[in-house]
Each structure stands twice: as structure tokens, then as C-alpha cells.
Structure 1
Amino acid sequence: MPGFYVIDVLPLHHASKRPFHLEKRMRSKKSSPVYSSNLPLSPAEAHLKREAILEARRLKLARQFLHVKDVLDKQHQRALRDSSAKRSQIQTTLRMAEKNRNLILQKLVEQAAQEVARCKEVARMQQLKNQEKTDRRRKDMERRQKATAARRARLLSASKTKTTGSNINVPMNREEAAVFIQGIWRYNRLMPCVKAFRKFGINAHAVECTSFGDVVALLQKPAVIQATSKLLARIRKVSSLTSGSKKYKNFARVFLSAYMVTAHTGEILVDMGPHETELLSSARSMLAHFERWVDEVSVTTSGKIQYSSLVKFLYDWDAYYNAFNTWKTRDSEKLASNLIAHYLDYEKLWNTVKSQANAETEWRPNIVFQQEEIRRKVRNLGGDAAMVRLENALRQLREKMPKDNDESGFGNDTVKRSVNHESGDWSDRDDDLTVPPRQVAVSPAPSSSSPSPSPNLPSSASHSPSVSPSLNGTGSSSISSSPVSNNIHEANNNLQTIIQSFGGYGAGLSNEKLAHEIIIDPDFELKPQKRTELEERVRAMTTKALLDTAREDFEQGRYDKWIPSLMKDIKQTLQEIVPPRSSLYNTIEEVLDIDLIAQQINVGVYDIRNCITFIIDLMLQICAPVRDEQIKSLKEMTDLAEIFQHIFELLDMMKLDLLNYQVKLIRPYLKEQAVEYEREKFESALVAGKLSLERTKAWLYPTVDALLRTAAERNPERVNLPQHRHNHGIKFDQVFDDAFISLIFQPTQIGRNNCPETFLLDVERLWNFQNESQMVTIVAALIMLTKNIATASQQPNVTDLETLKDRLFILLSDGDMTIDNLSAEVSNHFPKMTPETQALINSMVSKTLSQNDKVYSLLSRRVQTIVKTHLQSGQFPKPELLAQYGVASVAKELEALSKKIRILGRYNREVYAKWYDETIRERLRSQAGGN
């Protein structure tokens, strides 16, 4: 029977040991008997062990703290050293800057001191000269006073006896007697000359009260010129004080010109510059002293010549003569330039018409005559030097012409004018030959003795300059009927006359607007007046009714009702186109004799077909080349009513061609005075209260403020730089250029309500600039988009991109254009396109047209930069820069737009600079006061 054992396990309870692998490791690392023993640690030993471990940790943390502190101290010391070095470097730089500044200031002070010293030396030398001259005059006066006092004393002490006349028998020595006798002799020789001059009644008051034409006729009389010459020549010989005066050329004519200059200043001195002002002042002073001396010497009974007044006159006469020569030289040079330009116009004209069948008989004799007259006048004005200028200009003109044209003609008298066969324009569009209008006077008609003008030459260009010689015979011009006078009021009247001559073609254009458009737009042309749809419909119905009625009468032989009136209208129109009193004008008058035509119709012998053939041939002879085919087509028509209809339509076109030629003809004249004309009109509107400068100020102020902020940002230390002492370093031209570009490229549409007052004549033009700039930017962005979307195999070539560009411009110009149209046009260049690509194109086109696209914004800023550069420098950027900016694809359109913007900008700045500068200056003062 098994038994049970009870074992008491309580004594077996004790702390478990470490795992054997840890125990082995601990024994290997610990050499202490405590660790090598398998016996448990006592509480005291455990406490000591814990304290030892804590102390070790505290020491380690202390060492780490000291290490970190040491590192931080080193970094702090290093930072202090770096800061000290930088501060030392800045101080050194400041010292060097101060030193350089002091050197510059010292140099400027030295230069200023040298300049002051030089000026003082010049002033001292001048003072010495003046003092010497004064001393000389004083000694001379003292000598004369002593001589006078001695003579007076002898006269008072001598006995007075009556002799012949009023002479006094005074004892004189030989020298005094000779002087006395010479004075009497000179007085007796002088007085007849004075009386001969005075009998014509020439004085400042009388000349002023006489009309200009009568004054010219009086002063050009040979008797007046001869009497004046004798008087002035005799004046030089009356005394030793005057006999030493220098000899003058053409002195009689120059002297008499002073009366015209003072009494009729407006007719002689049109442009009052500094030379003209000096001439007028010297002429008035000279005439005042002359007339005072003449009055004194005429009323004296003592036989004295009144030397003091005479010397004053001669002194002023010398000043006037010099001023007149200076003015005449300037005027003669301008007049010579004018005649040379006119000569070149005839040269170009011959080049145009020499291929015509009748050129040698109808054109050449008249052109040769006109050129010979111009050559004679050029030689009289400027002599050999002017002739050399003429030959050089002629040679340069021939070099510009095609070589085949150089081999034909008639030597130096060859006349060449390029014709635009596509536009029907007679002019050569060459503005390099601009001539000041003051030197040109277009004769209303040639004299009976001169050859008749050429048949094709427009009336305003068929005559040579009519130059009235001045009294000196060498070139002051007379304005008889120039297209635009330099005088603003005359220009106003002339412009009104021109507009009236345009008839319906110039309707709605004021004088100011017409002149402005001609100057700003080089391609400005008059066009037929636009009619409304209702007017066109009524006109078509009326024309059809008249044609049907006329056709029915013509078929029944009833010509008397229509032909005389129709021929009268045709005759009148043809004579308006050809030059008056020319051989062609006389031919029209003889052939289209309305009374004779009516008589022939009444007796039934009138040949209407031959007359129409004459009219068609005549139209072919005088029309612009672009009308040739249209006029030739009349010969193939058989319906008489339709022929007359087309004749009148073509005559209207020919009149319009001539009027547009006349517009281009007056452009050089307008360029000389349009600025003053428009400026005066604007100032008048401001004075009358019709306009203000509120919108102009609101337009310029932001640009001024922006430039001030930019200048402040570039100079944060507010150093008083030399370039900032005047208007804060801001250039007024820069303000205008920046404001002008911002006006065109602003997102808001330009209208009359938000446009500056100085651009009211150009509201529509600015609006077009806005549209064109947006079109250029959009097309550039879309072409860039096309290049980016295309894969390597689908990259479009240059021709495809050019075609795409042209079509995009056409679409954008269409008012009915949509986004889908543009997307479709871009998609046409990708024959293989996925739906994803199509969606991408639609999205990109939509973003570009919304103008919120970053690419569009970037290109728009670049376009502005290009236009501003062109505006400021006058040079359009090179293709390399355009390619770099991403707008090379639209370079041609961008350049055309930039040129138009620059023309308007420079002209507007020149006209309104006075008000712009005042506005900018006012803003700068207000901002400076606010700061």
C-alpha cells in the first residue's frame, strides 16, 4: 500500500537568478567580488551600487554640459568676430565713400573755381576794353569841347559885321578855314540827296498806313532805289567820322526793306524766332534815328549836318545790316532747299510719264522749262554752293531709282516720279523731301507767256514756285496761295478751303481733325461718304429708274433730252481734274462745246459714239494707272445708258484719286505748322472752358507716383544724389512714355468718357490700338500653344504657321468670331488628334481669350516692353530679341502697330508738352510737400 510524503517547500523561496547567458556575460564584464558571487547583494551594497551609478551619470551629464557650453561659447565668439569684421569692413567702405565723395566735391569746387576765375578774367578784359573805349571817347569829346570852346571864345571876342547871308566874318587859321569850307560844301552836296529822298514821302508812319502791295510797288521803283543809294552813299562821305564806315552790298534795297519789316511785319516775318526778333528791333531803332536826323538836318539854317544824330543812325544801321544778312542767309537756304525739292518732284514726275505716247510733246517741254526756271532761281539764291547741293540731291535720287530708269530721260532735266500702280496714287510717298511752306508759293496759274502745264499734272503740282524777291533782290519769299500758311489763322482758312474742295469726301471732318489725320496717318485717304442701307436702296432705285428712262429715249433717238446735260457734267468734271488753261483744258473746251453739241443733235448729225470714244481716251490719258482696265472696259459696252453710268462712276473715282494726291501734297506743309495749329486750338478750348485737364491729370498722376516709389526703393538710405536734385531725377519724357503705353494696354476699353482730353482726337485710333495689341498677343499665344501641343512628328513648318497666323488674324477681326472657330482653326493643323488633345486645345484657347492665362499675361508684358523700347529709342527691336520674347511669329504685325503708336506718341508729346510738363511738375511739387 503506497504512502504519501509531505515536503515543505517554503525554504526553497529565494530570488531567481539571471538567465545563464546574461549571467555569463555579466561575469565576464564584472570583476568585482559582488558580481562574481552568486550570492544576492545586501541592501547596503545595493545602495552603494546605486549611488555609484548615479554619481557616474551626474559626472557624465556635467561633462556633456561643459562640452555644450564650450561649443556655444566658441560659436558666440566666432559670431562676434565675424560681426566685428563686417562692421569694420562697412566702416572702411563708408570712409572710402566719404573720401571719394570729398574728392569729387573738391574736384567740382576746383573746376567751378577755375570757371569762375576764367569768367572773371574775361569780364576783367572786357571791362578794360570798355574802359579803354570810354577813355578814348572821353578824350575825343574833351578835345572837341576844347576846340568848340576856343572857337566860341573867338567868335564872342570878334567884332560882328553883316556879310552876305548869315555868315559871320570870323578870323580863322588856315586849318579851321579848310574844315569850315568842307563842312559847308558837304552840307550843300548832302541836302539835294535828302530832298530827293523826302519827296517820295517815305517814313515809318506813312508806310504803316499803306497797304502791303502798294508799299512793295513804291519801294521797288527805280527812282526810289536810286535816290536812296545816293543819299546813303553821300552820308558816308559827309565827315571823317563816317567816311571810314565799311562798304555795304545792296545797301539801298536792304535799307528800304526795314520799312517793310517794321510796318508789315506779319507779311515779311511769318515765323518770329530770335533772328527775326533781333531784325525787327534793329530796324525800328535804325529808322527812328534816321528819320530824326533827316528832320534835324532839313530844318537847320546853319548849314550843320548834325553829326551826333548821324553817328547814332550809322551805328544802328550797321547792327541792322548784320541782322538782315543773318536772317537773309537762313531764309535763302530754306528757299533753296524748297526749290531743290521741287526740282526733284519734276524729276520723279518725268520718270512716271515718260513711257506715255505723248510724253515727248505734251510733257517734256513744260518740265524742261520748269526745271530750267528752278535752276536759275537756285543759282540766284545760293550760287555755286546751292547748285552743288542740287546736283548731289539729284544724284542721290537717281541712285535710289531702278537702273533701267537711269538710262532714259534727258540729262540733268530728267524728271522722275514713282507711281503706285496698285493704289492709283500719283505721289511717291517720300517724306524726306519735306519743304517749309514759308518759302513756297504755288502760283494759281501760269502767265500767258509761259508754256502750258502738262496735261496729266494735277493743278496743285503743275506750277513752279512763285517767288517774289525781297528788296535786296536775293530771296525773301512771298506767300501767294500756299496750301497751308505758317500763320495759324491763315492755315485755318486754307484748311476750310481744302475741305470745301473735298466736297462729300471730307464731310464730318473739322479743320483740326483733317490736319491731325493727315499728319498722324501716313496712309490717310479720303473716301466716299458712307450711306445708310436705306439711302443705298433709294439711290439704286432712282438710278435704275433714270437708266431705264434714258435707255428708252436713246433707243428712240431722243438725244436732246439727255446728251447736252450729261456732256455738260462730264465736261465740268474733266476740267476740274486737268490743270486750268492747259492745252488739254482747251481741248476739252473745244471738243465738248455744249451749244455746238445741242445744235448737232437738233439737226441729227451728232456722232455720240465718236464723242464717247474721245472721252474714254481722254480719261485713259489723265487717270491713275490703276483705273486703266476699268476705263478700257467701257469700249466693250454697247448700252449707251450703262456707258454714261460707268463714266460718271469712274470720274468720281478719278476725282477722289486727285483729292487724295492733294492730301499727300499738303502733308509736308502741314508738318511744318500743324503742331502750333493744334496747340493753339487746344489752348483756345481750355480758355473757353470747353475742355479741362482733369482726366489728363488722373492719367499722368499714377505714373508719376509709381516712378517716385521706384526711385525711393532704389535709394532706401535717401542719399541726396546729384541726379535727384532736379525733379527727383524723373524725366518728363519717361513719364509720358510710361503713361502712354499704360493707356493703350489697359484692360479697360478706351472711350470718350475715360480718355485724356489731349487724346480726344484719337479716341478711335487708341481703341484700334487696344484691339490690335490684343490680337497680336492672342495670335502669338495661340501659335506658341500650337508648337507646344504638337508632337515631334506633327510639328508644323514655317509656311503652315504663317498660314495659321493669317487665318487667326482674319478670325479675330471678324465680329462674329467664337472660341470654337479659333479652336477649329488650331485643330486643323493636327490631322491626327485624340479627343484629349482636342479638349486641351479648347481649354487653352478659352483661357487665352479670357486674358487670364499666364502665357497671355507674359506675352502682353513683353509686347508692352517692345513697344515702349521702340517709342523711346525710335528703333524696333532686332529679330533675335523678338524670338527670345516669343513673338517672332507676329513680328510684322507688331512692328506695324508699334510704328503707328510711336507716330502718335511723339506727335502728341510735341503738341501737348506744355500741359504735360506743368501737370508732372505740379504732381512732383505736391508729393515733395507731402513728404
Structure 2
Amino acid sequence: MSDDAGQVYAPPDRIAARFYRDPKPRHFKSSAASSRRNSLSSIQSHTSTRSLRRTSSCQSNYIAQHLRRASIIEARKARLADRAAHAEKVRLRAAMAKAAPRGDASASEGRALAAQLAREKKLAKVAAACAEEVQRAKQKAQEIKTKKLEEEKQARLDMEEKMADADRRRAEYKRNMTSRKSRRASEQEKKLADVSEGDDDTSPALNQEEMAARRIQRAWRVRQRRLIVRAYTDFHLSLEGIRHHSFEHVGSLLSGMPIIQATTKVLRLLNLQDKEDSPSPQATRTFLSAYLVILHPASVLSKNGAQEQHLNLKARDLITLFESVMSTLSLSNRFQAPVAMLQDLSQAYTTYVSAFDAWRAQDSSALVETMIASFVELDAIWQTVKDDTRGAVAEDYRQGIRDNQVMFLSKIRKLAGPERADLLIKKAIRESRRRRVKRRSAAEVRPRAAADIEDAEPDSSETLPIVAPPLPQNSVQTGTASQDDVRSNLARLFSPIPSNRILTHELAIDKDFRISSGAHSGIRDAINRELCNGMREGVERGMGTPWTVAMAQEIRAKLVHIVKPGNSMHNFIIEALDTDLIYRQCEQGIFSYANFFSFMANILPKLCAPFRDAQIKTLADDLVSNNDEDMGTMIEKLFRLLHFIDLLSLDYSNFLLMNAAPVLIRESAGYESRMFAADLASGAITLACTDRWWRNASVNLLTEADRRDPEQVRNPADRPTAHHVYTRGLVDIAFGQGPLNMTDVPETLALDVERLCAIRQKALHMTTIGSVLLVAKNMLKRDVRSPWKAEASRLWDLLSKEPPSENTSEDALASLSSRAFGVLESAHNLPPSTKSALQSAASRVITQASSQRFTDPVAKVLYSRLRSHVLSRVVARTSSERVRTASGASEALATAGLPEFVTQVGEMVETLRKVAEVDWASHSVWYEQVAREVSEAGDA
């Protein structure tokens, strides 16, 4: 053991494989060693020397790998140390650069920043200018595009008319050429027959065969023509044969396919239709419709105008000539009509077809216009009710309006084509909505001085206070109660703000109601003018100081009224327009009107609403210009300043009214009912006029019911209800004859007298214009259903500016009649006889309109039809009934002779319907009481 103490013994192979395993991964081993170890050539040597190298190789490989690993780790540590030293150097260098003073770098950066800002500002200015130019270019391009579209549309229509005319001429030319060819063929046959008969006997067998063939063909053609004529004559279709038959019987006979086929063959036999073309049932039906036009014109034609009379005449000429030609067809002439008669028949047929196409086109155009007007009327109704939030009115109307509009749209597209129908409907709806008053948004009408007013619901008490602008106040105040009462009465007289009851009533009828200055503007301007004139006279007498102080106090009182108390603007106005300070300045002679007007020019834009910006800019420029002029010019500026401040006060009142409108509308019915009950209790009013008005309406309805019931059955369903009685009475007031008498108006409608008078005036204008246009259409033999909108609009403007009344002189009526006739004369070419008759009719109708009593038959009929139409629409209660009556309104008015006033009648109906709803909601208790009394009196 001592000898072997320094010797190392290798462990067995299995143990050495576990403890001395190579720690390197396989892919880190040397490729040379791996390849040599794995090669096939070294297997034997590797096997033979394995036993010799087994003990030493394991230990040596392990030591070498350990040393290599240690060297790699040391190299990595050195590399990381170098990298950390470099990073530290960079950090120190950056810290030193940052701590060093910059010198002129800050100035350079400042200049660079200023240059950048200037560049951005310049770019923004250039971009704004470019955007404006682009907007103008787009607008100009849109205008040019619209103009080109209109020109293309007009050119397309002209081209369609020219093509239709060319097609008619082509068809007539082809028929004439066909008749000529047939005549030439017959003449050639006759010549050939004569030649064949006169030929010599050089080839007798050939000549006989040709003659036999020709005779066989001629006999076959004659037989075919005879069968065609016999098939048509078997129907016994003639004017005399069917004259006494009904329209339904004749229509069913002419619509059958056998007679259409037989007639088509006869028309081809007479060269009225091309034989090369396929059968055309439409052309044959057009020919057969001539019988209906002659025998039953009232059922076929919607009216008896000039075009209808022309069509009837051409149809009669065609059928008369056709029957005479058919009577000449016999075996003797081989069932061939004379050439001269065929030419006349062809010309009559062409003329009739042209007249029929023109009539059908005009009739369809009138029908399309009527249906478009109905479509637009339904859209107007939807625009009125779509914003309703108090109930399910919009939901009730939605489905009915949509169904009717879909029906109208399908019919319009069928008559006018899809593209043209969509274009016409869009244009009509655009014009209808453009006529509606443009409402300003809340931001536009909101005064800037009211920016801090909180939107709070006002108290729905008995008074419902609305702030009204104050009256001009004198510098000297008196405190007696009588003077306060007088001042209150004067404020109520001269103020444009109506009473609370009128405000709530107007808002209930029109939720967009706003206070307008109206006649009060002239009154307040007259007051301001008197103040300015008094100031001018006072200054001339040496009393400039009191007047200047009084005017400053008046302006301050008006301005602080439109500013919330406690506001900074309120305090600023009080301090700037201090009357004591102004008095001292005037006494010392240092008061300057130029500084005063400059102050007002700066303060007013901060108080007015945005939509007044253009007006206030013009006023401000006027106030600060020419400050060195005399006192007269300064007083004139003061007058314009007072006028504009009154407008600001009115805007402020309208703003307060707009905020309080929802609550006022909700409480309007109860408030008006309580006020009416208070007036009845105090004895200020009675129900005498209401009782008499209800009795008259009830008697009128019962009389009409008895007239419809001659056998006196007295069906309870025919008894008029309270709603029908009320509606009848309301329409009677709006469409009564003669001036409106206050005793005919019930006390419940006292607030609507002015509105009812306006409706009556509109009805008179419609009847007057409709009568003149209807007479003109009949004299010129035009379609009475086609609207003359341009003439009606000009006549409406003429009568609106100078409405005829009982106070109008005869010379003024004559001048008005002459100008009304001039409108028609400039629009249409009138024969001399028509001119005198139309001028006489216009003068007669306008004279009767001045007395509000029509005696002319045409005017009486139109006025009665208009009244019946409005009554039928106002009496409708459910949404389906209203939509149904509105959808048929255009056709009904066109039939009544008033196709030009669809929009005006719709507005009139909506006004009466709203008046009825508001009035019944407020006074239904008293109406029911009067109805019970009238019913009990009738039963007794």
C-alpha cells in the first residue's frame, strides 16, 4: 500500500461515464473531433485504442474544458468592464456639456421659435384665404352645374318632343308609302293582265300557266280580304248599332281580344297599320276608343275643355270616314277601297292619334301635378306634427302618411317615370319647405346680457308673469295712486307686450309664437320722436342740461331692464350713466356727446342677440362718425339709439317668453279657463253670443239632415254631435258673407277674432282669384284642373297689398281690376273678344269682393266649394281621417276649380283645427252647458 500511495486508480467504465461526462453541449464540440470520431474509417482504431486511452482521456478532457471555460469568463468580464468605463466617460461628458453656459444659443432658439410662430400664422392666413377661394369656386361650380342640368333637362325635353313629332311624321310617311306601293302593285297587275291577254300565241302553254297562277293568287287574296271584312262585320260595330248601349257594355265589347284582333286586321287591310310589324293591341285600342269618346264623352273625359272638344271632333271624323270606307268594300271592287278615300282615312287616322296622344299627355300631366301636390301636403302635415312631445300624435300620423305617400309615389312613377318623378317630388318638397318661416336657433336669439340667466320653470300661478319693457319715465316722480294707475294703463296701451292670457293663448296655438312690435313700433317711435323734438326745442331755449340728464336717465332705465340685477354689466351701466355725474359735467360744460355715443357703441354689442350683430355694427359706425356736427345731428343719433334699445328690450322679452313657453303651453288650457270663469263671475262677459251662435249652427245642421232625410226616418246616427255643431259654427264664422260682426262671434272665441278675420280675407282672395282664372281658362278653352301658379301668385300679391274693402273707392277698384286683368293679358295671348269679356268678369268679381258678398254664379260656386272642403277637413278627428282628407285635398281642389291654392288651404285648415283644439280644451265646460240647454229646448 505504501508503494502505491501516489498512484491514481481509474474507476470502472460505468462509473467513469457518470462522473466524468462531458459538460459541453453536443453542438459546442469540435467539428474535427466529432467528424473523426464518427467516421467509419476510424472505427477500428478507435476500438483498438479505447482500452489504452480510457484512464487518461477522461481526466485530461475535463481539465481542459474547465480551463477553457475559465478563460472565456475572464474575457467576458474584461469586456464588460471596458464597456462600463466607456459609458461612464460618456455620462461625464454629457453632464459637463449640460452644465456649461449656452451663450447665444438661447437667442438663436428664441429667434427660431418666433420664426416658427410667424410661419404658422402666415400658413393659417394663407389656408383661410385658400379655403374662402375654394368655397367660392365650389359655389360657382355648383351654380354652373345646376344651370347646366336645367339646360340639359330643357334640351332633353325639346329633343323628346322633336323625336315624338318625327315618329309621327315617319309613321304617316310609311303609311303613305305603303298605300302608294299597293296602288303601284295593283296597277302593275292590271298592266300585266292586259299584256298577257294581248300577247300572241307564240308560246300559248306558258301564257296560260301564268294567267292561271295570277288568277288563282288574285282569288286567294280576294278571299282573304273577304274573310277579314266578314270577321269584323260580324261584330256589328257601328255608331248607330251601339249608340243606345251603356258605357259599361260598350267598354266590355271593345276590350275583348276577338274584336281587337279583327280590328287590327282591318286596319292593316286599309294600310292604317304596318303589315311588317308585330300586332299592336295598344294602337288598336286607341282606334276603338274613338267610339267611347264619341258616344260617352262624360265618362271618358274628365272635363269638356277645348282639347277634349277637339279630340271628340277628330274621333267623329275618323269613325265617319272609316264606316264609309267599310261600306264600299265588296266583291265588285275585290274588297279594296278607292285610293282617294284611303288617303283621306289615313290623314284622319293620323290626326286623331296625334290629338289622342296630346290629350293623354296633358291629362297625365295634370294628374301628376295633383298627386305631387297631395304628396307635398302630406309632407307638410308631417313636418307640423313630427316634433310633438305631448302625446302620440306623431306615431298616429306616421303610418297613415307613409302609406299614402307610398301609394302616390308608385302612381307618379308609373305616369312620369322613376327619374322624373323623383326629381319633381324633391323639387316640390324643397319649395314647400322653403316657404316655411325660417326659425332662428336659441343661440341666435339669446341676448348676451342674459347669459347668466338660469333656465328655471316659472311659477304656473294665476298671473304667469312676463316681463315687459318699461315706459319712458320722467325725471320727476310722483307717488299718488291715481298716477300709478294711469301709468299702468298707459304701459298696457303703448307696450308691445300683450296680456298674459293672450300670450298663453297664442303659444297654445303656435308654440313658436314671438312678440312682434307691429303697430306699437310706430307708436314708440312717435313717442321717441316727440322726446327728441322737445329736447331740440329745450336746447334752443337754453335748457340743455335737464334734457340731457333726462335722456341719460331714460337710456339707463331701459338698459338696466335687460340686464340681471347684481350682474357686473348692471353695475357698470349704473356707474357709467350716473345722472348726478352727468348733471355736474353739463353744469361745468365738460359733458361730451361724442364720448357718450362711443360708450354706447361699445356697450350695445355686449347686450344684443347674435342675429342683431349686423344692425348694431351699422348703428355703432353711425354713432362714432362725424362727432363734430351740430346738436341737431346729435339728437337724430339719439333717436336712432332709442329705437334700437327698444328692439333690444323686445328681444329680451322674447327670450324670456321662449324659456317660459313649455310651461305656459302646458298650463294654457287651465289658465284660460280660470280667467274666463273669473270674467263670467264678475259680469264682464256673458254667454249670450255663444248661446245664439250654437243654436244657429245646430239649426243649420238639423236642416241639412232633414233635407237628406225626406221620409223623416230620424236615424239617431244622423243626429249631429257636439263636435260637428262646434266645427260647423267655427267654419260659418270664417266663411260668412259680409263683414264680420262681433255679435256673431261667441265670447269664447274673442281672442281669435283677428285670426278669423284673416282667414275670411284669405278665403275672399282665393275665391276672387279662382273665379278670374276659371273664367279665363274657359274662355281660352284650357284645362280647368291645370294650375296657373304664376298668375295666381301675382294676383295674390296684388290683392294682399291692396285688399278691396267697403272703403275702397270706385277709381281704386277700377285700377285694381285693370291691373288684375293686366296680369292675365301679359301671360296669355287673348283675342279681342276674350279681352273685353275677361276684363268685365274681373271687374265684377273684384267689386263684389270689396263688399264681401258674392253674387256672381262662378264666385258663389267656388266659395261654397271652398267652404265645404275646409269643413270636411276640419271636422276630421282621428289621424287616419285627417291623412285621408289631406291626401285627396289636391284632387278635390282641382275638381272644385281651385288647384292653385293647395298650400294656402292647407295652412287655413291647420289654423282652424288648432283654434278648435285650444278653444275646446279651454271652454268645453261652457260648450257642454250650452249644448244641453239647446237640446232640452229642442226636446221641449
TM-score normalised by length of structure 1: 0.43
Compare relative contact order (CA 8 Å, sep 6+) and give the higher one, 1 or 2: 2
TM-score normalised by length of structure 2: 0.42
Larger Rg: 2
